[in-house]
Every structure is written in structure tokens, then in C-alpha cells.
Amino acid sequence: MRRVRDDEMSIGAFSRATGLSPKALRSYDRLGLLSPARVDPDTRYRAYTPEQVERGRTIRALRELELPLLEIRALLDATTPDETRELLLAHQRRLAVRSVVISHSLARLQSLIEGKESLVNDVTVDPVDPATHRRLAVDLFNRSWRLLELGSRTPEQDDELVHVAHASRYHWGEVGNTAHRARGENQCARVYAALGRGEPALHHAGRALSTVQAGGEGLEDWDLASALEVMARAQLAAGNRGDAEHFAGLARAELDGIADPDDREIIESQIDELGL
């Protein structure tokens, strides 16, 4: 049975056309921001139309500017230039405040990395509240994905990519559960693999995989397949093609255990990217 009709686009094709990940598209559907034209009642596969591509690309452009999803909806529905300008100005002010908090976090992280500060002995009171930790963890994680998805990056953006991935993992370490920590390690490994840095990619991929295999709060049925896929990615970055093929095979073997078709398609497409 065909998943989509001739005048429709699969979620994968629509993702490539708009630059929005399948997981993001599913979230936008739940929020009523960008719903598929049709959902197959039997397979639950989502189908989109070419006419929806422009709206999808607009949403991605606004997300790259760090706009919250609810504000993107308001911007898309704005009827006058003044209304659009006021929404953008409000977001600009919010980013300016947040940049101060991020700069503070990055400075502290650098002190920890250089051994100039100790979390155990010198820092007795956390100046960042749990809600801020959580917000920063999410925002920085999403920023790392947007940087990864760029067609090309400057050396400065490569540096930022490393910083935001580690900063997100740090903040999840303060307030997150097992799944958050594992996915943070996974993202660090993915970042280093994308930069061709095999040793740190393997280090973080190993930490992610061992965390998932040990089990814990918040883990879902796709986490193991994802950790195995990233381990294969890290092995490739380290020049270990045989090991990469082994872990890619293990990741594929886990696909049948992923209940949600969109989650399964995302992991499968990531495995296919490896070209193994």
C-alpha cells in the first residue's frame, strides 16, 4: 500500500523540503501550527502537500531566530506590519536578557574545564533556579540541532556548536532525569562526529549508550536505537568502519521495537545517513 498519493509528500520528503525534522513536524501538528494534509488511518503515516512547504520554511526561519512556537503562530496570523514588529521587538528584548544568563553559564563552565573552579568545594549555592536550568537545557539543545542542520558553518559556529551541546548537557545534569542525561551525551557525541573529532565522539557516545542500557527514568523505546546509531556515527568519525557497521546493524535491529512510526522513521533516516 502506498504511504502517500502522487500529489502529496511523505513526512520525510516534506522534512527535507522545509528543513524541519519529522519530530518537530509532529509537535507542530499537535500545536495546530502546521498539520499534515492527511493522516493514513491504518499506518498513521503523515502526508503533506507542496503548498504547505512555504509555511514550513517560514516556521523554520522563525525558529532559527529562537522564537517560541506560540509566538510563531501569532506572527503568522499577524495582519499588520506594526503587529509583526511589536512581536519581534518583544522577542529581541527577551533574547537580550537570556544572553546574559548564557554568558554567565559559559564563563562558569570554562572555569570548571580549566580547573579554576570546583563544583564540590567552591560552589555551595546554585545561582540558577531549576526552571532556568530546564529552559536553558532545552533552548541550548535546540540551538545545537539548528547549527548541525546548517548547510555550512563558520569556524565560530563550530565552536558555538560544541559550547551549546556541552552547556545543554550541563543544565540537564542539574535538573534532568536519566533520559535527559543520556540524550545530552548523545548530542555531544553527534556534534563531535559532525566535526570529525573521533575521540570525544566515542567518549560521549559510550557514556550515552551505557546510560541507556542501564535503564532509568524517562527513557523511551527509541533511545537505545538512537544511542546505537550515534555510536556508529562516532566510530565512523574515528575511522573504524567495521565497528560502525556493527553498531549500525544493532541500531537497525532495534527499529521494530519502536512503536511510533514517526520515531521509527527518524531513527531509520539517521541510520541511512551513515551510508553503511
pLDDT tens-place values along the chain, 276 residues long: 445 577 889 888 899 999 998 888 988 988 889 999 888 887 788 889 999 999 999 999 998 888 888 889 889 888 899 888 988 888 888 787 778 778 878 888 888 888 877 766 554 455 678 888 899 999 999 999 999 988 889 999 999 999 999 999 999 999 999 999 999 999 999 999 999 999 999 999 999 999 999 999 999 999 999 999 999 999 999 999 999 999 999 999 999 999 999 999 999 999 999 998
Give the pLDDT of residue 121.
54
Indicate the length of the chain as a whole number: 276
Residue 41 lies in a domain: yes
DSSP string, 179-241: HHHHHHHHHHHHHHHHTT-HHHHHHHHHHHHHHHHH--TT--TTHHHHHHHHHHHHHHHTT-H
Instruction: For residue 6, give its domain range.
Output: 1-65
Query: Does 78 map to a domain?
Result: no
Residue 192: its pLDDT value, please? 97
Whether residue 53 lies inside any domain: the answer is yes
Is residue 12 assigned to a domain? Answer: yes
Q: What is the pLDDT of residue 55?
A: 92
CATH number at residue 9: 1.10.1660.10
* Number of domains within the chain: 1
The pLDDT of residue 1: 42
Exposure string (b/e) for 99-129, b if CB count within 10 Å is 16 or more? eeebeebbebeeeeeeeeeeeeeeeeeeebe
Q: Which of 209, 217, 226 is nearest to 265 (CA)?
A: 226
Could you tell me if 154 and 93 are in contact, meaning their C-beta atoms sit under 8 angstroms apart?
no
Residue 145 in domain: no
In a domain, 213, yes or no: no
pTM over 0.85: no
Helix-helix angle 198-214:223-237, to 10 degrees: 160
Cell numbers for 225, please give them. 536505537
Residue 36 lies in a domain: yes
The reply to whether 38 falls in a domain is yes
CA atoms within 13 A on the CB side of 221: 12
176: left (phi over 0), alpha (psi -120 to 50) or beta: beta
